């Protein structure tokens, strides 16, 4: 009790005209407190002096300020904790390889294909460690599922779906004077759809695919779709056979925009040349080939701008947006977005695509029986020999034609499509850019008849 009342005694004593009565022990303690009072001062007195520091308004303002700082700090910390974690940096890892195959060969492509010109096309996946499995389609669903393409983050797969239940195929041999099928039946026109489905960690679709019905006239054919680099849109073109090729962009919720009116104001026609296109890395414009010319089309409605390259077949932006690659007949040109020519080179692949490595350092093309790698400015080059005889174990393999169809996400490997003849099946082979390592992804099969760059997609995993 005495110890608890010590502060009260000292306070009373200091304010009284005479010391209060208390036992010696209490008075001794009180005198000790009195003797040290010059050290027991408010923080504000030490900071601002006795006269100013003893004012209650100053101490109150300081306390309120400390409370406000505490609340603001807590809010900032809570906001930081609620933010999404930063995306990992560095090159992506190589995930699954998705490709189009004839579903008649079964769920793992081990079955026989009786007639490569008929049968539903389905979507399969494989990996560098082996194993083939079908992930979209069945043997007898009468649907064509093709053109698989992974989203930039590798979490979704988009593909084209064609309903063949309204089509009557023409079986071989084709009667004299008849057109080779499939030919439309009386049950209705061909039905097209763009399907988008999530992909889990094992490469299997998750849930039902979302379907977007493209706005294409009856009797026309649509291209494969391409993801915008930001993963928010898909683009496709429509071959109208004698009319202008249409370029369309759709959002994932199905809002579609036709850019043909913008191109039509420049009066260019298809001229029998199918269209090809590629997104700019910032997802704000598309390079579009029509009538052997290249146009840069802003998707915000701006005026299309021509790129001065004659005889264009295919086009692709470099990943850093500083260059475009354009293929013409057996020739590759690298130009700036302003049309300035950087360098050009011949190519022995008449159906080649422009294949930039994902890191933007190299562009790949076929040169004889080898792969030619050119740096983006043309200052460096390398030749990668491809020993198909050793890879396939076939003495005649060295003379087989091959195409480049895909880069690996880490920019260290390429996929080749190797065929016996132009009209027969193919094999898919993975080759390192150093040329010292090659592996068979899919052995030669008629289920891969005519497979090309738009039929293969390599998943990026981060």
pLDDT (0 to 100) of residue 191 = 84
- The rounded percent of the chain whose pLDDT value lies above 90 is 37
Q: Locate tokens 């590759």: which residue?
A: 332
What is the CB neighbour count within 10 angstroms for residue 34?
13
Kindly report the CA angle at 454 between 342 and 165, in degrees rounded to 5? Answer: 155
**Whole-number Cα distances in Å, 91 to 50, 120, 451:** 63, 36, 28
Instruction: Report residue 52: phi and psi, to 5°.
Output: -80, -35
pLDDT (0 to 100) of residue 17 = 43
CB 162 within 8 A of CB 190: yes
- 42 by DSSP, 3-state: which? coil
Structure tokens at 271: 């001229």
pLDDT (0 to 100) of residue 415 = 96
Highest mean pLDDT among 145-149, 372-376, 381-385, 436-440: 145-149
Comparing 52-66, 129-143, 213-227, the range with the smallest average pLDDT is 52-66
DSSP 8-state class, residue 314? E
| Average confidence score pLDDT of the chain | 77
For residues 433 and 397, the model is more confident at 433
Q: Which of 348, 347, 351, 439 is nearest to 387 (CA)?
A: 439
pLDDT (0 to 100) of residue 309 = 77
Q: Locate tokens 């260059």: which residue?
A: 323
pLDDT (0 to 100) of residue 160 = 95
pLDDT (0 to 100) of residue 36 = 45
**Residue 402 to residue 405: CA distance in whole angstroms:** 9
**Residue 397 to residue 51: CA distance in whole angstroms:** 99
pLDDT (0 to 100) of residue 173 = 58
DSSP H helical ranges for 244-384? 260-264
Tens of pLDDT, residue by residue over 211-254, are 999 987 776 788 899 999 999 999 998 876 555 578 899 999 99
CA 82 to chain centre: 26
Comparing 53-57, 326-330, 384-388, the range with the smallest average pLDDT is 53-57
Comparing 66-70, 150-154, 314-318, 412-416, the range with the smallest average pLDDT is 66-70
**Whole-number Cα distances in Å, 344 to 202, 353, 379, 417, 452:** 42, 15, 12, 24, 23
Mean pLDDT of 440-445: 92
**Residue 217 to residue 429: CA distance in whole angstroms:** 38
Peptide bond into 450 cis (omega under 30): no
pTM of the entire predicted model: 0.75
Kindly report the CA angle at 275 between 269 and 276, in degrees rounded to 5? Answer: 145
**Residue 107 to residue 96: CA distance in whole angstroms:** 16
Does the pLDDT at position 266 exceed 50? no
**Residue 47 to residue 50: CA distance in whole angstroms:** 9
pLDDT (0 to 100) of residue 328 = 82
- 358 by DSSP, 3-state: which? coil
Tens of pLDDT, residue by residue over 69-126, are 555 454 543 444 344 344 445 678 999 999 999 998 999 999 988 766 666 899 999 9
Does the pLDDT at position 50 exceed 70? no
What is the CB neighbour count within 10 angstroms for residue 97?
26
Please name the residues in contact with 234: beta carbons below 8 A apart, sequence gap of 6 or more: 158, 194, 196, 212, 225, 226, 227, 228, 249, 250, 252
Please name the residues in contact with 191: beta carbons below 8 A apart, sequence gap of 6 or more: 162, 163, 166
Does the pLDDT at position 347 exceed 90? no
pLDDT (0 to 100) of residue 118 = 60
pLDDT (0 to 100) of residue 138 = 87
CB 103 within 8 A of CB 462: no
DSSP 8-state class, residue 311? S
Comparing 72-76, 148-152, 187-191, the range with the smallest average pLDDT is 72-76
Bridge partners of residue 457, in order along the sequence:
98
The H or E element spanning position 270 is none
Confidence of residue 16 (pLDDT cuts 50, 70, 90): very low
Structure tokens at 409: 């996400």
Q: Locate tokens 């008075």: which residue?
A: 27
pLDDT (0 to 100) of residue 154 = 95
Bridge partners of residue 333, in order along the sequence:
326, 344
Structure tokens at 39: 């050290």
Structure tokens at 451: 């497979």
**Residue 363 to residue 340: CA distance in whole angstroms:** 18
pLDDT (0 to 100) of residue 268 = 40
Nearest-10 crossing angle of helices 6-15, 24-35: 70
Q: Which of 411, 451, 416, 444 is nearest to 431 (CA)?
A: 416
pLDDT (0 to 100) of residue 133 = 96
Does the pLDDT at position 29 exceed 80? no
pLDDT (0 to 100) of residue 362 = 93
Tens of pLDDT, residue by residue over 273-296, are 345 899 999 999 999 987 778 889
Mean pLDDT of 182-186: 46
């Amino acid at each position: 009790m005495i110890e608890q009342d010590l502060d009260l005694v000292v306070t009373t004593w200091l304010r009284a005209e005479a010391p209060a009565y208390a036992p010696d022990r209490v008075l001794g303690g009180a005198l000790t407190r009195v003797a040290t009072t010059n050290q027991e001062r408010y923080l504000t007195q030490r900071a601002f002096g006795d006269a100013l520091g003893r004012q209650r308004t100053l101490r109150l303002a300081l306390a309120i300020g400390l409370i406000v700082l505490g609340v603001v700090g807590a809010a900032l910390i809570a906001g930081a904790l609620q933010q999404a974690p930063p995306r990992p940096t560095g090159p992506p890892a190589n995930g699954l390889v998705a490709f189009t195959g004839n579903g008649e060969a079964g769920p793992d492509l081990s079955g026989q294909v009786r007639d490569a010109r008929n049968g539903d096309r389905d979507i399969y996946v494989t990996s560098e460690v082996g194993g083939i499995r079908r992930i979209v389609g069945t043997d007898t669903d009468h649907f064509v599922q093709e053109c698989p393409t992974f989203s930039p983050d590798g979490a979704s797969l988009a593909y084209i779906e064609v309903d063949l239940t309204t089509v009557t195929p023409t079986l071989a041999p084709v009667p004299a004077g008849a057109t080779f099928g499939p030919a439309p039946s009386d049950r209705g026109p061909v039905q097209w759809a763009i399907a988008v489905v999530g992909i889990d960690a094992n490469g299997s679709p998750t849930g039902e695919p979302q379907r977007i019905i493209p706005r294409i006239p009856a009797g026309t054919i649509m291209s494969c779709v391409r993801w915008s680099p930001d993963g928010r849109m898909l683009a496709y073109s429509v071959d109208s056979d004698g009319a202008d090729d249409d370029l369309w962009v759709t959002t994932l919720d199905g809002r579609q925009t036709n850019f043909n009116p913008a191109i039509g104001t420049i009066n260019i026609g298809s001229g029998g040349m199918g269209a090809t296109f590629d997104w700019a890395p910032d997802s704000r414009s598309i390079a579009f080939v029509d009538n052997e010319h290249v146009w840069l089309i802003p998707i915000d409605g701006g005026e299309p701008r021509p790129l001065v390259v004659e005889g264009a077949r295919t086009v692709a932006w470099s990943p850093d947006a500083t260059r475009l690659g354009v293929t013409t007949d057996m020739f590759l040109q690298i130009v700036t977005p302003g049309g300035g020519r950087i360098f050009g080179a011949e190519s022995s692949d008449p159906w080649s695509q422009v294949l930039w490595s994902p890191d933007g350092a190299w562009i790949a093309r076929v040169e004889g029986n080898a792969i030619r790698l050119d740096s983006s400015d043309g200052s460096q080059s390398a030749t990668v020999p491809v020993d198909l005889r050793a890879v396939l174990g076939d003495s005649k393999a060295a003379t087989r034609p091959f195409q480049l169809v895909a880069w690996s996400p880490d920019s260290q490997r390429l996929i080749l499509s190797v065929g016996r003849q132009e009209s027969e099946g193919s094999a898919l082979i993975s080759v390192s850019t150093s040329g010292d390592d090659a592996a068979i992804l899919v052995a030669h099969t008629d289920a891969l008849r005519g497979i090309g760059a738009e039929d293969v997609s390599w998943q990026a995993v981060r």
